[in-house]
């Protein structure tokens, strides 16, 4: 995945079971953030920060969308617990994560496994990738993303 590429299309369910397509966001910027797991510390911080500053993104005509593996139930609980004002998309089989190149081998305490590498994409109004934030460090990430959105 490179800046300037057309963002890979997808059609998956959000936390309420409604079908969502990346083209639903055409005409505005999209902050597509891939996070590792519902209700974990880093993902909670990242999601809360995007939620607390959601109005600032809306003022720049940008929509925030979270993507993670998991289930409708885990996403709904995570969204409800944090009162998130944006969609959380259920990538149960990691198809979207793989298309965006964020499904990678990880290593934790010597154990190797496949998982999402925390990454954020800014997609422009025409559906092209404008900026990529790989291997995100969550603290202050929302501000870095917001400041990168040109309007």
Q: Which residues are catalytic?
A: 43
Tokens in use for 29? 């910027």
- For 80, residues 6+ apart whose C-beta sits below 8 A from its C-beta are none
DSSP code of residue 24: G
Interatomic CA distance for residues 29 and 129, integer angstroms: 10
């Amino acid at each position: 995945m490179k800046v300037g590429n057309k963002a890979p299309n997808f059609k998956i369910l959000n936390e309420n079971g409604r079908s969502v397509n990346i083209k639903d966001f055409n005409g505005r910027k999209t902050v597509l953030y891939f996070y590792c797991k519902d209700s974990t510390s880093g993902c909670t911080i990242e999601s809360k920060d995007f939620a607390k500053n959601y109005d600032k993104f809306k003022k720049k005509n940008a929509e925030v969308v979270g993507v993670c593996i998991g289930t409708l139930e885990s996403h709904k609980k995570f969204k409800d617990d944090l009162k998130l004002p944006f969609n959380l998309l259920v990538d149960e089989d990691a198809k979207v994560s793989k298309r965006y190149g964020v499904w990678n081998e990880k290593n934790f305490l010597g154990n190797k496994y496949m998982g999402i590498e925390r990454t954020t994409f800014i997609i422009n109004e025409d559906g092209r990738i404008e900026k990529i934030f790989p291997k995100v460090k969550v603290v202050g990430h929302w501000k870095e993303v917001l400041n990168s959105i040109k309007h």
